[in-house]
Structure 1
Amino acid sequence: MSVRTPRLPRPRHAGRAFGAAAFTAVAALAAATLLPTSQAGAAGTTLRSLAEAKGIYFGTAITQSDLNNSALTAIAGSQFGMLTPGNEMKWDTTEPSRGSFNFAPADRIVSFAQANSMRLRGHTLVWHNQLPSWVSGLPAAQVKAAMENHITTEATHYKGKLYAWDVVNEPFNEDGSFRADAFYNAMGSGFVADALRTARAADPNVKLYLNDYNIEGLNPKSDAMYNLVKSLKSQGVPLDGVGFQAHFIAGQLPSTFKANLQRFTALGVNVAITELDDRVQLPATTASLAQQASDYAGVVNTCLAVTGCVGITQWGVGDADSWIPGTFPGYGAATMYDANYRPKPAYTSSATALGAGTGPSPSPTPTAPGGASCKVTGAVNAWNTGLTEDLTLTNTGPSTINGWSLAFTLPAGQTVTGSWNASLTPTTGQIAATSLSYNGTLAPGASASFGFQATHTGNTSLPTVFSLNGTPCATA
């Protein structure tokens, strides 16, 4: 497996604890109005229909608060055929105090899925995170009964409504050892088999899965999952599949991804990509979004090439509701839809991998936040070993931009020594020019001019490629 950025501690609503970012009414209106016609779910053109034609599903995850976002729900209901509740079926929501169950939040997600003819993936029955303190505080002798009661009550409540359950989520540490959580400490590794048997007794027809991250390639953690699955199957424990979360970094898909999936299916279980995203360093660039598109196509092609890979779920609908920026500072833009729910190159590459002649493309005019387009013009004045560059950013779209960050790459040998009307960081390489308090708002047709002074070693040219929050700008 490729080297991955170490995971950071995950707060209550980050990581798998799915959390939505703010989404303004203006942006929602722009997204709803300006989406390409095919985004409305025309037959044969959606990810959902393309995937189903290939015998797999393409899903997404949403939270209860997302149901208030009309742009998000329009895409979720038309583009995706499987739905995972981000938080609403987890223990701290469904049984916050012992024996007191609350299924209302999850029931809202279920109703949305049913209204849009989507299948449902239950997530999750047993997990060390988002676990109420009363569970961790139980005497060891009481944990088994509490776990079995929780599984039985929740799985019975949703009996007949779900495609699958992530019964046990993230049981392993990175070295392949079991996490020392309340369940393992009380029951040893046998808690996994007990959880699966309890879930099967509550719902005989739902698919039962184990789910984890960083098991996509061949490594100690995936070896541990493989050995667990092999052991469970040899014991006759009910287990239908393994979920590979697939929280990737752009350009770092493991080379052993396909071989790893195949060794699991050889054990007699299905495999699924359950929480796909592919984060890039911010601000995103044309190159990083192209790499992301290649990665998404690689995931789709890998699933299609593995008999027993039943489907792919993206963790979230668009960049605006992704958990990545809040958990991995400096990273984001991890989904197929941008912050205004417009399809990115990753959407096109995924649709193409699923057999579309041409998938829906991003808007032909590069767009910026709020549905606006952008244009950059510039001039350079150079001398000996120094230069100044004056740049003008123009909002050429229909919506107001509130705050801007313009990304570009300085030509080799140039180093920023000072700037005006914008904050520039760092001083070489990939630069982010951020608006100041007095020039961040650009109405349609308005411009903001800024500039910088730099040293050079002979190359005095202007940057040629600019992007506003990851979306390319026209240049002149």
Structure 2
Amino acid sequence: MTRTIWRRPLTTTLATTALVAATVLPVATTATAATEPLGDAAARHGKTVGFALDPGRLSESGYRAVADREFSLVVGENAMKWDATEPARGSFSWGAADRVASYAAAQGADLYGHTLVWHQQLPGWVQGLTGTELRTAMTDHVRAVAGHFAGDVEAWDVVNEAFEDDGSRRQSVFQQRLGDGYIEDALRAARAADPDADLCLNDYSTDGINAKSTAIYDLVADFKARGVPIDCVGFQAHLIVGQVPSTLTQDLRRFADLGVDVRITELDIRMNTPADAQKLAQQASDYAKVFQACLDVDRCTGVTLWGITDRYSWIPGVFPGQGAALVWDDAYAPKPAYAAIAEVLGARDDGPGGDEQAPSAPTGLRVTGTTTSSISLAWNASTDDVGVAGYRVFRDGTQVAEVAATSFTDTGLTAGTAHVYAVRAVDAAGNLSATSGTVTGETEEGGGEPTGTCTVAYTASSWNTGFTGSIRITNDSTTALHGWTLRFAFPDGQTVQQGWSAQYAQQGSTVTVTPAPWNTTLGAGASVDIGFNGAHSGINTEPTSFTLDGAACEVA
């Protein structure tokens, strides 16, 4: 397809702000980036710089400020995967995926599709299919999703992670039941659905010349020889500090010589935590090496970072004791890697400037109403030299919301409990005000829990000090639930690190789960499958008690 390179003029200043995760509310801090945005700098080389977007984070001003400023390509971190787009066979949910597409369009950024066929994050109904039925379901899914975004997506990761490290085929449900031909079938279905999108294979640990990358190289060569539609190959590049493969550039170039584009698709570079100056300096050098490798290969379309901030990186949940893998830290401050990337791209120095003045602190914070599960707040508006963008609301020292209005209702609370609230204003540049005064609100006393209206099935697959938790929630009542809330407690201090198909919040041992944009309604008799990656300290006893909207559930 004809590739569009960076169509949006960007502003040239960015204020990044420390977010609050402690029980003491800090004073406002800012840090201003004075270099040209990375997307603008890369465009002069004919490349794009992308990031993996969680659309649910766009309401967070620090996240939004970096996202809006720096990138020329957007990929959905989870929103376009199978469990998000087709949770039930033939029933498609486009909410989160459309939000990703709309954001990319509003930014004038390229939209990259991830992913159509992958053995992970499959809804349960797919796992039960066999033979012809599974092939039909797969090609129907590819056609529906690629067709829905036809004309908008620049390229698709059609098949993700199809190979093992030794170069053999991964024994996924697709490989076991459909055989080698499923990759070709998926590519042909995608081409039929969107003839203009580039079609890619994507995998990890292929960033140097090794058995795995060679197996994919041989497959691409075969596909090109036989006319199977294949336009590009993605190299995930989930790397470790100090271990950028010496053959990275050579590897990219040999694929490009086959007549396909190449891209670094999921770059992060992790380290043993805590980070220190030496590790961050090495990480900066490693990021520079990866970007330089792409610049050195004409058919490398660009580099995508797998997220913005260490605050939400997937790494600690899967690799305990490791993290600090991204370019912005937990507080959205650019790390040394940012300057190293900017230097490689030849980013221009735009000099100081921009809005560095914080808004005034909100005043008059007050409780305006309570129920057994909610507390409503209001406050007086702040002022700012440019304009107030919103307000961050803190419950017991932790941010729970960011709103544009001067009021907020905190829901999903436990009856008969008191909470301390505070509010800070934020402007469009990310400058935070000082903290308002605090106010204490208390939910009304409840009348006991109803029972027997829900069933929860919980399973966990553990390794070392990590695990993947899977939860099936069934609404056994005769009434649909809208905006449901599931709660449970871990018995052994486990923590949720990263989740999918729902939103997860944890305070102490208690986990609160609320729906994703596409599964807010749980019909009578209906079920929803959700999951997460977690960490444990060696003992991983499963929770034995769950409530759904305050009602105790049976545990299957």
TM-score by length of 2: 0.58
Q: Deviations over 1:246-305 (max 9, x none)?
A: 000000001111111111011110100000000011110100000000001001111000
Check conservation: 1:32, 1:71, Cα contact below 8 A: no
Deviation at 1:26, TM superposition (A): 9.4
Out of 237, 248, 264, the residue aligned to residue 257 of structure 1 is 248
| Matched residue, 1:222 | 213
Amino acid at match of 1:35: A
Q: Does 1:98 align with 2:98?
A: no
> In 1, Cα distance between the equivalents of 2:141 and 2:171?
20
Q: Alignment partner of 1:261: what SS?
A: helix
> In 2, Cα distance between the equivalents of 1:30 and 1:91?
41
C-alpha distance 81-140 of structure 1, shift in aligned 2 (>3 A): same
Check conservation: 1:280, 1:333, Cα contact below 8 A: yes
C-alpha distance 290-168 of structure 1, shift in aligned 2 (>3 A): same
Q: Does 1:158 align with 2:154?
A: no
Q: Does 1:200 align with 2:204?
A: no
| Number of residue pairs aligned between Structure 1 and Structure 2 | 339
> In 1, Cα distance between the equivalents of 2:302 and 2:348?
21
Check conservation: 2:66, 2:308, Cα contact below 8 A: yes
> In 1, Cα distance between the equivalents of 2:26 and 2:177?
52
Deviation at 1:116, TM superposition (A): 1.3
**177-186 or 270-279: bigger deviation:** 177-186
Deviation at 1:189, TM superposition (A): 1.1
| Matched residue, 2:367 | none
> In 2, Cα distance between the equivalents of 1:106 and 1:26?
32
> In 2, Cα distance between the equivalents of 1:32 and 1:273?
36
Check conservation: 2:328, 2:334, Cα contact below 8 A: yes
Q: Does 1:62 align with 2:53?
A: yes
Q: Which runs of 5+ in 2 are unaligned?
A: 1-17, 353-397, 399-432, 436-556
> In 2, Cα distance between the equivalents of 1:139 and 1:281?
42
> In 2, Cα distance between the equivalents of 1:83 and 1:360?
27
Q: Alignment partner of 1:165: what SS?
A: strand
Out of 287, 291, 314, the residue aligned to residue 305 of structure 2 is 314
Deviation at 1:31, TM superposition (A): 11
Out of 46, 58, 67, the residue aligned to residue 76 of structure 1 is 67
| Matched residue, 1:303 | 294
Q: Does 1:38 align with 2:29?
A: no
> In 1, Cα distance between the equivalents of 2:434 and 2:265?
35
| Matched residue, 1:89 | 80
CA RMSD of superposed structures (Å): 2.6
Deviation at 1:332, TM superposition (A): 0.8
**113-122 or 289-298: bigger deviation:** 113-122
Q: Does 1:355 align with 2:346?
A: yes
> In 2, Cα distance between the equivalents of 1:51 and 1:360?
19
Deviation at 1:115, TM superposition (A): 1.4
Check conservation: 2:118, 2:159, Cα contact below 8 A: yes
| Matched residue, 2:261 | 270
Q: Deviations over 1:133-173 (max 9, x none)?
A: 21121121211110110011111110111111000000001
C-alpha distance 31-96 of structure 1, shift in aligned 2 (>3 A): farther
Deviation at 1:195, TM superposition (A): 0.5
> In 2, Cα distance between the equivalents of 1:328 and 1:123?
23
> In 2, Cα distance between the equivalents of 1:220 and 1:32?
51
Return the structure number with greater strand share.
2
Q: Does 1:50 align with 2:41?
A: yes
Out of 270, 274, 277, the residue aligned to residue 283 of structure 1 is 274
| Matched residue, 2:379 | none
C-alpha distance 234-217 of structure 1, shift in aligned 2 (>3 A): same
Check conservation: 2:34, 2:349, Cα contact below 8 A: no
Q: How do 1:174-253 and structure 2 match up within 5 A?
A: 174-253=165-244
Check conservation: 2:82, 2:116, Cα contact below 8 A: yes
Deviation at 1:24, TM superposition (A): 3.7
Q: How do 1:400-439 and structure 2 match up within 5 A?
A: none
| Matched residue, 1:148 | 139
Check conservation: 2:37, 2:347, Cα contact below 8 A: no
| Matched residue, 1:465 | none
Amino acid at match of 2:116: L
| Matched residue, 2:162 | 171
Q: Does 1:139 align with 2:130?
A: yes
C-alpha distance 187-34 of structure 1, shift in aligned 2 (>3 A): same
Amino acid at match of 1:38: A
> In 2, Cα distance between the equivalents of 1:241 and 1:332?
29
Deviation at 1:109, TM superposition (A): 1.3
Check conservation: 1:343, 1:360, Cα contact below 8 A: no
Deviation at 1:32, TM superposition (A): 9.5
Deviation at 1:327, TM superposition (A): 1.1
Runs of 4+ off more than 2 Å: 22-27, 29-33, 356-361
| Matched residue, 1:418 | none
C-alpha distance 344-32 of structure 1, shift in aligned 2 (>3 A): farther
C-alpha distance 298-138 of structure 1, shift in aligned 2 (>3 A): same
Deviation at 1:37, TM superposition (A): 5.0
**273-282 or 136-145: bigger deviation:** 136-145
> In 2, Cα distance between the equivalents of 1:209 and 1:360?
39
> In 1, Cα distance between the equivalents of 2:29 and 2:53?
21
Amino acid at match of 1:319: D
| Matched residue, 1:335 | 326
| Matched residue, 1:428 | none
> In 1, Cα distance between the equivalents of 2:28 and 2:107?
18
Check conservation: 2:240, 2:271, Cα contact below 8 A: yes
C-alpha distance 320-297 of structure 1, shift in aligned 2 (>3 A): same
Q: Alignment partner of 1:280: what SS?
A: strand
> In 2, Cα distance between the equivalents of 1:63 and 1:32?
25
C-alpha distance 297-222 of structure 1, shift in aligned 2 (>3 A): same
Q: Alignment partner of 2:153: what SS?
A: coil
Q: Deviations over 1:100-137 (max 9, x none)?
A: 11011111111111111111110000000001121121
Percent identity among equivalent residues?
A: 49
TM-score by length of 1: 0.68
Q: Alignment partner of 2:294: what SS?
A: helix
Amino acid at match of 2:92: F
> In 1, Cα distance between the equivalents of 2:231 and 2:52?
21
C-alpha distance 360-59 of structure 1, shift in aligned 2 (>3 A): farther
Q: How do 1:364-375 and structure 2 match up within 5 A?
A: none
Return the structure number with greater helix share.
1
Check conservation: 1:247, 1:276, Cα contact below 8 A: yes
